[in-house]
Amino acid sequence: MIKVGLLSDTHGFLDKKVFETFKGVDEIWHAGDIGTIELCDELKKFKPFYAVHGHIDGREIRLEYPLNLMLERERFKILITHIGGYPGNYEPKARKKIEEVKPDIFICGHSHVLRVM
């Protein structure tokens, strides 16, 4: 079973504890508002890194990381975006993408609140 380190809304700050916390993960996924391309580069040196851009991210990050990212892991379709909402209250663009791709797992950032539903 794949182990994933999930981040969001780092806004350019990467606590060094991440490297200890994520030492046993296979991949790192970032759900947007990364902040700096250097943060991405640091994480890419550490583990395979996948990310989407958020609304605070500049041109350099937006060119490298998409608004929506589809991954397939262990027969699961995973959709990652930054502004998504939650069941019953999806952001309209996210709802459209969810209806289009029908992911098994939907991950989003933006709220700064950990919520697993």
Give the pLDDT confidence of 99-115 residue by residue, as tens digits. 999 999 999 999 877 76
Give the three-state DSSP class for 43: helix
pLDDT score recorded for residue 40: 98
Q: How far apart are CA 23 and CA 12, in angstroms?
A: 21
pLDDT (tens digit, 9 = 90+) per residue, 22-65? 999 999 999 999 999 999 999 999 999 999 999 999 999 999 99
Question: What's the predicted TM-score (pTM) here?
Answer: 0.94
pLDDT score recorded for residue 20: 98
CA distances from 97 to 28, 80, 117 (A): 22, 10, 18
The H or E element that residue 101 is part of is helix 92-101
pLDDT score recorded for residue 116: 75
The H or E element that residue 69 is part of is strand 68-73
The H or E element that residue 80 is part of is strand 76-81
